[in-house]
Structure 1
């Protein structure tokens, strides 16, 4: 029984990765953000770094969330865009 549950959990997790968009465009009034989701998956290898509840839409995602979560991660890792115009493209 434990093997069946483990197999089902692994299948659902893998399906979430397979169905995730390669690139996501987030609309913003000062220029849309193109988010390379697949690249982030490959680098981070841990969905919970961004998705606290596992794969899926980030609940309550907003400008403030992006600035804290995304920009904060880029600053911590000293990798990726941290200035407005590096993410927001008109």
Structure 2
């Protein structure tokens, strides 16, 4: 019985992680909301820690306007792809 419960818990844990990768997040901003499609960004830099605080993803310490402008736009410029101007991310 313990093995069945452990297997079910592990399955749910893994499924939750997989679903997070398909997540579309809308970040509210004064000059227009920013829509972030996690699936488009997954694996671009090689691992989750390029943006997240751990390999498993989760919380992003210091996430906010300054973090996003430095990290997101910096990465887009470095890779020469993706939006780099205000109106390309912020939609009213």
The counterpart of 1:56, out of the listed 55, 58, 68, is 58
Unmatched tracts of structure 2, length 5 or more: 1-10
Change (3 A) 1:15 1:69: farther
Q: Point out 4+ residue stretches in structure 1 off by more than 2 angstroms.
A: 13-17, 42-45
TM-score (norm 2): 0.74
Q: CA deviation at 1:46?
A: 1.2
The structure with the larger Rg is 2
- Distance in 2 (CA, whole Å) between partners of 1:30 and 1:76 is 25
Higher helix proportion, which one?
1
What secondary structure, in the 3-state scheme, does the structure 2 residue paired with 1:57 have? coil
Check conservation: 1:16, 1:56, Cα contact below 8 A.
no
* Residue number among 53, 78, 81 corresponding to 1:79 in the alignment: 81
Superposition deviation, residue 53 in structure 1 = 2.5
Which whole-Å CA distance do the structure 1 matches of 2:17 and 2:45 have between them?
A: 13
Q: How many positions carry a matched residue from both structures?
A: 79
Q: Distance in 2 between matches of 1:14 and 1:76?
A: 32
Give the CA deviation at 1:45: 4.2
In the superposition, the TM-score normalised over structure 1's length comes to: 0.75
The equivalent of 1:34 in structure 2 is 35
Evaluate the alpha carbon distance shift between residue 16 and residue 62 of structure 1 in structure 2; reply closer, same or farther with a 3 A threshold: same
Alpha-carbon RMSD across the aligned residues, in angstroms, is: 2.1
